[in-house]
Amino acid sequence: MRNIAANAMLNLRDQPASLFVHGSVLTFRMDDRVVISRVVQAGDEGERDSLRLVLVVAEGTGPYKGTAKSFVFETTDPEIRSYQKVHIRYGLSSLVLPIQVLS
C-alpha cells in the first residue's frame, strides 16, 4: 500500500457540471508514472451513487527516491449529479472519498 491523498469536487457552477478528482500518491522511483482511469464493467449493477476509479503506478527503472506524483481525473458526464462518493482502487487496497459539492 502506498500513501495516497485525494479529493473529489462536483462543480455545479459551470455548464456543464464537472466532477474533478485529484490527488497524489507516493512513488518509490523518480521515473514512476501514475495513471488514473474510470472502471467500466459490462452489466455491472453495483452502487449507482459512486464513481469507481483505478489508480495504476507504472514502476520505472530509475534510482530510488520517494516522491509524490500527482493524478487528475475529470468528467462532465450527465450521471455525475447522482454520485455521492468516489472509490479509488489501487492494487488490493481502496480509498473512499465523499464528494464535495460547489454550487
Whether 12 is covered by a domain: the verdict is yes
> Mean pLDDT throughout 43-51?
71
Whether 28 is covered by a domain: the verdict is yes
* pLDDT, position 76: 94
> Mean pLDDT throughout 1-10?
88
Whether 77 is covered by a domain: the verdict is yes
Whether 100 is covered by a domain: the verdict is no
- Contacts of residue 67, defined as CB under 8 A and 6 or more positions apart, other chains included, come to 26, 27, 30, 32
88, 55 Cβ separation under 8 angstroms: yes
Please tell me the total count of domains within the chain: 1
| pLDDT per residue as tens digits for the range 50-86 | 999 999 999 999 888 888 999 999 999 988 999 999 9
Whether 15 is covered by a domain: the verdict is yes
d(CA 21, CA 28): 23
Whether 103 is covered by a domain: the verdict is no
| pLDDT per residue as tens digits for the range 12-32 | 998 899 999 999 999 999 899
State the residue range of the domain holding 48. Answer: 4-94
Whether 65 is covered by a domain: the verdict is yes
d(CA 70, CA 32): 11
d(CA 59, CA 47): 31
